[in-house]
Structure 1
Amino acid sequence: MNCLTKTLAALFPAIALLPLSGCASRLDYTLNPPVSNDWVTVTVKLPQETEALPLDVLYRSETCRKEVYDNTTESHVTAVRGLNPKLVTLQPQGNGDIRQARVAVDGGGRCEWKLSAIRVDIQLKGDDPLASGKHILPTSYVFGFDDQAYGSGEGSGRKREVHGDLTLKNELFPMTVFNRVFNENTIALFGGDTNYEKWSRHYRLFDSKHILIEPVLYSKKIVSLETPKSRKDSPGMTVLYPDGSTEKVDDIYPNYDKLLRMK
Structure 2
Amino acid sequence: MIDVKSNRKIPFLCFVLLTFLSGCAKDRSMNPSPDGEKVKIYIKMPEDLELRSMRVMYRSAVCQRVTYDGDGRPERVDGHNGFEVPLQRREGDLYGANLFVDGGGPCEWRLSNVMFGMTYRDPSRFGENVLVGGGGGVIVVFDHNNPQLSVGRRVAVEGSELKIVKDYYLWLNERYTGGYVKRASLSGCGSGYITYEARQARNVYFEPVFHPEFVVTSVAPKKHAVGDFIKFFYPDGTVESDPEGRPNFKKMQEIRLRAEAKK
Q: Place the TM-score, normalised by the shorter chain, in its bin.
A: 0.7 to 0.9
Q: 1:17-166 to 2 correspondence within 5 Å?
A: 22=22, 24-72=23-71, 76-94=73-91, 96-126=92-122, 129-130=125-126, 132-138=128-134, 139-154=136-151, 156-166=152-162
Query: What is the match of residue 249 of structure 2?
Result: 256
Taking a change above 3 Å as real, the CA distance of residues 62 and 21 of structure 1, as seen in their structure-2 partners, is farther
Q: Is the 8 A contact 1:52 1:122 kept in 2?
A: yes
Cα deviation for residue 233 of structure 1 reads 6.4
Answer yes or no: is 1:222 the counterpart of 2:215. Answer: yes
- Report the AA paired with residue 113 of structure 1: W
Cα deviation for residue 93 of structure 1 reads 1.4
| 3-state SS of paired residue (1:168) | strand
Query: What is the match of residue 186 of structure 2?
Result: 189
Answer yes or no: is 1:167 the counterpart of 2:167. Answer: no
Query: What is the match of residue 204 of structure 2?
Result: 211
TM-score (norm 2): 0.82
- Report the AA paired with residue 159 of structure 2: H
Taking a change above 3 Å as real, the CA distance of residues 208 and 130 of structure 1, as seen in their structure-2 partners, is farther
| Number of residue pairs the alignment of both structures matches | 238
Which ranges of structure 2 fall in alignment gaps of 5 or more residues?
1-14, 257-263
User: Structure 1, residues 27-83: CA drift from partner, whole Å, max 9, x if none?
Assistant: 53322112341111111110111111221100000111122334557xx33322111
Q: Is the 8 A contact 1:116 1:148 kept in 2?
A: yes
| 3-state SS of paired residue (1:221) | strand
User: Which sits farther off after the overlay, 136-145 or 112-121?
Assistant: 136-145
| 3-state SS of paired residue (1:259) | helix
Cα deviation for residue 121 of structure 1 reads 1.8
Q: What fraction of aligned residue pairs are identical, expressed as a percent? A: 23
Cα deviation for residue 128 of structure 1 reads 5.9
Q: Is the 8 A contact 1:68 1:78 kept in 2?
A: yes
User: Structure 1, residues 140-168: CA drift from partner, whole Å, max 9, x if none?
Assistant: 100001121112243x4224233221111
Q: Is the 8 A contact 2:123 2:184 kept in 1?
A: no
TM-score (norm 1): 0.82
What CA RMSD, in Å, does the superposition of the two structures yield over aligned residues?
2.5
